[in-house]
Amino acid sequence: MCGIVGAIAERNVVSILLEGLKRLEYRGYDSAGVAVLDAQGQLQRVRRTGKVQELADALADNPIKGSTGIAHTRWATHGGVTEANAHPHFSTARVAVVHNGIIENYQSLREQLRAEGFHFSSDTDTETIAHQVELELKSTDSLLTAVQRAVKKFHGAYGTVVIDQQNPDSMVVARSGSPLVIGLGIDENFIASDQLALLPVTRRFIFLEEGDVARISRTEVHIFDQDGNEVLRPVHDSEIEHDAGDKGGYRHYMLKEIHEQPTVVRNTLQDRLTQSGVDPRIFGALAPDLLAKVKHVQIIACGTSYHSGMTARYWLEQYANVSCNVEIASEFRYRKSFVHPNSLLVTISQSGETADTLAALRLGKELGYMASLTICNVPGSSLVRESDLAFMTLAGAEIGVASTKAFTTQLTGLLMLTLALGQFNGMADNDQQKIVGALHSLPAKLEETLALTGNIEKLAEEFADKHHSLFLGRGDQYPIAMEGALKLKEISYIHAEAYASGELKHGPLALIDDEMPVIVVAPNNELLEKLKSNVEEVRARGGIMYVFADKDARFESDATMRVINLPHVDSVIAPIVYTLPLQLLSYYVAIIKGTDVDQPRNLAKSVTVE
Ligand code: M6R
């Protein structure tokens, strides 16, 4: 979704801003822009629709220079994809702003600001911020005071950065509902919506809290909380690798991230899984006390993270003996729900900033859940900071919009949560040993599975001209079928549906013909024979099947069925292992179709608006 970069320095900051925008491209956007205060103290701006490279080309043709500047990648919400709607937005020639989020009361603010004589040149909600700040500047010389007064008028979510031609030595930033991180340099400072944007210039960061407004100059940072009190926020050294934004020789980030899975799953297990299980403290210092009381788990997430939650429900109920509900965050937050006694609220998120998931966590606290735990990939993110307990997946920065390594590391963490909760709820010894053993074998099994890449690349050719597809699984492979379908539709734009295969005869069998490939995930588990009956139902209706099966599951390729054998794995980790061929299949189908794999159309990496 939208990205923000800002810098204040002695040097010209345009290249820093552009590099920052490039590093935020993965979040998804449809236009980009830069504004600086030049040597004469005038605001200069260049904006373009399309890619950051188009902005870079425009800047190469008509360079602008300045040591205070802001930049933005916009993912359209209010107003179409036009240059006029691209950020930064100006109010007269004095104030420039960039903004992530949505100002919900922008229509009424527009009317009031028009009545004050302000002219609107875009259809965006953001332009109201620029005019409102300029209006406030009529009664104060201080940009900080003006922004503090202005934000009180806004309803909705914002992460915003404001520069003012008459306050050239600082920029003022405000956060409410949309993350912002201050980057600390030597005699220069920065702001961004994501620390990844700033890694080439600093590794020292301050994460702003909800309601914070900060004044940033070259040498100083002053932060004020929502009551206007000056506060100190801790400085963090970034743990993200500097080269997180490189493709490492792979054609796409997504392919790199698929192939990183054995390593990042190993990292996620390392120092946490012993030969006998897990220490609950891997979920946080308070975890031993809190987890010991848990009798129910409520999981909340969106998209791929929701699929990992759905998978975890099978594990938690089967092995840890705790009941579990799983719900999409955007549904949970708008319905009346009941809180079970001793219920742990678990949010799952790669980014830690998904607006609906964060809102669901906050709602969960009001509803009185016993405690909250987040399974998250981004240290310092809002979900991590606002949850009682946190388990960090060590997937490293995930750049491809299609989530891959975040998913498998989430599953790895959730299986460790199953072990931890099982300790307090009578998990059978043999189940405990089985899960520990299977987790230890997981990285190697993932490596073996990736060796099938060439076969799957060939298989993809059979999908490229198809418009629809059906994914089938049973039990804990049903969410994996859902994840496979999400991956395919997301990056190849082929319509894909997933069904629990026992549901076939209740409707979807009517769709089966030779134009509807059916993808089946078939590990050798206790539901295999049931699944085989479903496979026969498809065969009898002329369906063409692609079966990812355990070597020992005894599926044979024939005229209507292509079988791809996977290494034999313990059924408890099969959902993690069977995810990889589905990711690869989607990737290679997308390659054949020539879609934008890393930044699929209409999608954003981090969905920070509702
Ligand atoms: O950052 P989160 O895990 O909270 O994001 C949730 C979804 O937006 C995300 O998983 C989305 O579905 C991915 N694009 C799927 O590949």
Rounded to the nearest angstrom, the distance between the alpha carbon of 401 and the centre of ligand 1 is 8
Q: Which atom from ligand 1 is nearest to the alpha carbon of 401?
A: 14
pLDDT tens, position by position, 37-91? 999 999 999 999 999 999 999 999 999 999 999 999 998 888 889 999 999 999 9
Rounded to the nearest angstrom, the distance between the alpha carbon of 335 and the centre of ligand 1 is 22
Distance CA 43, CA 50 (A): 23
Mean pLDDT of 258-282: 93
Mean pLDDT of 547-564: 91
Mean pLDDT of 180-187: 95
Q: Which atom from ligand 1 is nearest to the alpha carbon of 607?
A: 8
Distance CA 168, CA 205 (A): 23
Q: Which atom from ligand 1 is nearest to the alpha carbon of 351?
A: 1
**Active-site annotation holder among 2, 302, 324, 376:** 2
How does DSSP classify residue 515?
Answer: T
**408 in Cβ contact with 449 (< 8 Å):** no
Rounded to the nearest angstrom, the distance between the alpha carbon of 516 and the centre of ligand 1 is 27
**197 in Cβ contact with 13 (< 8 Å):** no
- Label residue 440 by pLDDT band (50, 70, 90): very high
Q: Which atom from ligand 1 is nearest to the alpha carbon of 303?
A: 12
Among 252, 308, 354, name the best residue to mutate to test ligand 1's pocket (greatest count of ligand atoms within 8 A of Cβ): 354
Mean pLDDT of 226-251: 84
> Of all protein residues, whose CA lies closest to atom 11 belonging to ligand 1?
303
pLDDT tens, position by position, 500-542? 999 988 998 899 998 899 999 998 888 888 888 888 888 888 8
Among 305, 327, 601, 603, name the best residue to mutate to test ligand 1's pocket (greatest count of ligand atoms within 8 A of Cβ): 305
Rounded to the nearest angstrom, the distance between the alpha carbon of 244 and the centre of ligand 1 is 19
DSSP characters for 35-47?
A: EEE-TTS-EEEEE
Over 70: is that where the pLDDT of 277 sits?
yes
pLDDT tens, position by position, 589-605? 999 999 999 988 888 88
Mean pLDDT across the chain, nearest whole number?
Answer: 94
pLDDT at 389: 97
User: What contacts 526, CB < 8 A, 6 or more positions away?
Assistant: 475, 571
Q: How many residues does the structure list for the chain?
A: 610
pLDDT at 244: 61
pLDDT at 541: 86
pLDDT at 6: 98
Q: Which atom from ligand 1 is nearest to the alpha carbon of 487?
A: 16
Residues paired with residue 375 on neighbouring β-strands, in sequence order:
348, 391
Among 258, 332, 350, name the best residue to mutate to test ligand 1's pocket (greatest count of ligand atoms within 8 A of Cβ): 350
- Label residue 19 by pLDDT band (50, 70, 90): very high
pLDDT tens, position by position, 200-222? 999 999 999 989 999 999 999 99
Q: Which atom from ligand 1 is nearest to the alpha carbon of 606?
A: 1
> Of all protein residues, whose CA lies closest to atom 14 belonging to ligand 1?
402
Tokens representing residue 158 in the block: 């914002």
Distance CA 171, CA 95 (A): 11
pLDDT at 243: 60
Rounded to the nearest angstrom, the distance between the alpha carbon of 607 and the centre of ligand 1 is 8
Region for 160 from its dihedrals, namely left if φ exceeds 0, alpha if ψ lies in -120 to 50, beta otherwise: beta
Distance CA 112, CA 130 (A): 14
Q: What percent of the chain has pLDDT over 90?
A: 82
Rounded to the nearest angstrom, the distance between the alpha carbon of 73 and the centre of ligand 1 is 19
pLDDT at 514: 87
Higher pLDDT, 572 or 536: 572
Distance CA 144, CA 150 (A): 10
Tokens representing residue 296 in the block: 């129910």
Angle (CA) 372-374-379 rounded to 5° is 130
- Which residues, judged by CB distance below 6 Å to any ligand atom, belong to the binding site of ligand 1? 302-305, 349-351, 354, 357, 401-403, 486, 490, 606-607
Tokens representing residue 4 in the block: 């923000």
User: What contacts 460, CB < 8 A, 6 or more positions away?
Assistant: 585, 588, 589, 591, 592
pLDDT at 132: 98
pLDDT at 329: 97
302 in active site: no
pLDDT at 242: 56
152 in active site: no
> Of all protein residues, whose CA lies closest to atom 8 belonging to ligand 1?
303
Tell me which residue of 80, 85, 216 sits closest to 161, measured CA to CA: 216
- Label residue 29 by pLDDT band (50, 70, 90): confident
> Of all protein residues, whose CA lies closest to atom 9 belonging to ligand 1?
303
Rounded to the nearest angstrom, the distance between the alpha carbon of 48 and the centre of ligand 1 is 27
pLDDT at 536: 86
**68 in Cβ contact with 168 (< 8 Å):** yes
Among 194, 299, 300, 302, name the best residue to mutate to test ligand 1's pocket (greatest count of ligand atoms within 8 A of Cβ): 302
Distance CA 604, CA 610 (A): 12
pLDDT at 553: 85
